[in-house]
Amino acid sequence: MTNVLSELNNKVLTITINRPDKLNALNQATLKELNAIIDHAKDDDETAVIIITGAGEKAFVAGADISELATTDAMTGMKFASYGQSVFNNIENCGKPVIAAVNGFALGGGCELAMACHLRIASDNAKFGQPEIKLGVIPGFGGTQRLTRLVGKGKSMEMNLLGDMVSAHKAEQIGLANWVVSQGELMPSVEKVAQQLAQSAPIAISMTIDAINKGLECALPDALDYEVKAFGICCASEDKNEGTSAFLEKRQAEFKGK
């Protein structure tokens, strides 16, 4: 793979969108490579946590590849948007925590990619935005939907209709970024969080992600019922026995994902 790089270290898989000359813009080839890596990672026992970032300091992902968009008609546009959504849904529902390390521009498809991740840690030079309106289109990879769920209808309307960028600190204020660190501290901070997650109980982590994602799709009574069932699954695991024993014995738990 040339557009997307990956490196596994201590159960943390770091995925880097590697098109710095294009500000890491997403074209179809890049999406396919990213999806293939996620498909492998979600079934890989050696991968506990995934980090997604962009090559260089200028951009996480600056959007879709405009040269491809310029030649897109209605049918090819729908196919491209549908495929992009499927890739981002795969990330959101892969069952393992995914952290976006947002360095620089996260615009259009880049903002949508970050929102598909479970946590977003941004460097202080990061800029978020959905500028598609300025190209005569709307977000196609989930921007109208995930942004609304993260920041609310009013702020989502503002960002999607005006197409303006927001700073990293503004993104943190409105709930789009979880927190902001200096550029030099971005990857060390992300890796620290990743290691904390990697030491947690894999089944409980997966069930937490699943319950939150599914709960957003249904009425509260159904969501609460799903949580009850997920809680029961965790209670039947060896990890629950290890976690409770470790707490009572005042030692560090060693979870096995069983």
Catalytic residues: 112, 132
Q: DSSP state, 1?
A: -
> CA 23, CA 17: separation in Å to the nearest integer?
9
Contacts of 209 (CB under 8 A, 6+ apart): 93, 95, 96, 97, 118
3-state secondary structure of 71: coil
The C-alpha torsion from 111 through 114 and 115 to 116, rounded to 10°, is: 130
Helix (DSSP H) and strand (DSSP E) numbers for the chain: 11, 10
Sheet holding 179-181, edge to edge: 4-9, 12-17, 49-54, 98-102, 119-123, 179-181
Indicate the Cα dihedral angle 55, 79, 118, 257, nearest 10°: -100
Return the amino acid letter for 207: M
Could you tell me if 103 and 60 are in contact, meaning their C-beta atoms sit under 8 angstroms apart?
yes
- Selection from 173, 161, 231 nearest residue 203 by Cα: 231
Q: Which two tokens stand for residue 161?
A: 């209709």
Say which amino acid occupies 88: F
Six-digit token string for 97: 């925590």
